[in-house]
């Protein structure tokens, strides 16, 4: 059975202030998840990237999937914060941490390799060129 995270019944006046704060925070996190999901869908379907990631991303399709995983992570944290009880909430947080790591790894895989790996530059002496 799912109960409110505040531990009290709002109809009886127990824990209503904390519950309202958690609901406001969950709504904010839900909006962030919607923005991340919209960016991910735009990157997958059209190849459009947000301005903050435009120059560094080489594979927008993979970037989009990483953004969708991050949106799922934020949404699951928001739902877990308001709906689940303590033991289930801790399991949801552990699962969300795993999805967060998967999302960041996927986004990093979509980026360009570092410029120090270019053929005209020496890896051990960044200021010099081979020649």
pLDDT by residue for the chain (131 residues), tens only, comes to: 445 454 555 555 555 777 788 888 889 999 999 999 999 999 999 888 887 776 788 888 999 999 999 999 999 888 877 777 778 778 888 888 899 999 999 989 888 776 555 555 555 555 555 54
* Residue 76 CB coordination number (10 Å): 18
CA gap 120, 131 in Å, rounded: 8
pLDDT given for residue 2 in this prediction: 45
CA gap 38, 59 in Å, rounded: 17
Is the pTM higher than 0.85? The answer reads no
pLDDT given for residue 128 in this prediction: 53
Beta-bridge partners for 111: 57
């Amino acid at each position: 059975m799912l109960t409110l995270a505040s531990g009290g019944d709002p109809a009886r006046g127990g824990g209503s202030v904390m519950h309202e704060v958690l609901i406001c925070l969950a709504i904010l996190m839900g909006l962030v998840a919607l923005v991340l999901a919209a960016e991910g869908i735009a990157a997958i379907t059209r190849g459009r990237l947000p301005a903050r990631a435009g120059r560094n991303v080489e594979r927008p399709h993979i970037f989009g999937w990483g953004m969708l995983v991050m949106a799922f992570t934020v949404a699951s944290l928001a739902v877990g914060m308001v709906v689940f009880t303590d033991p289930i909430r801790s399991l949801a947080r552990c699962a969300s941490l795993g999805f967060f790591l998967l999302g960041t790894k996927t986004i990093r895989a979509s980026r360009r390799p570092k410029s120090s790996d270019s053929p005209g530059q020496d890896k051990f002496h960044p200021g010099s060129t081979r020649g």
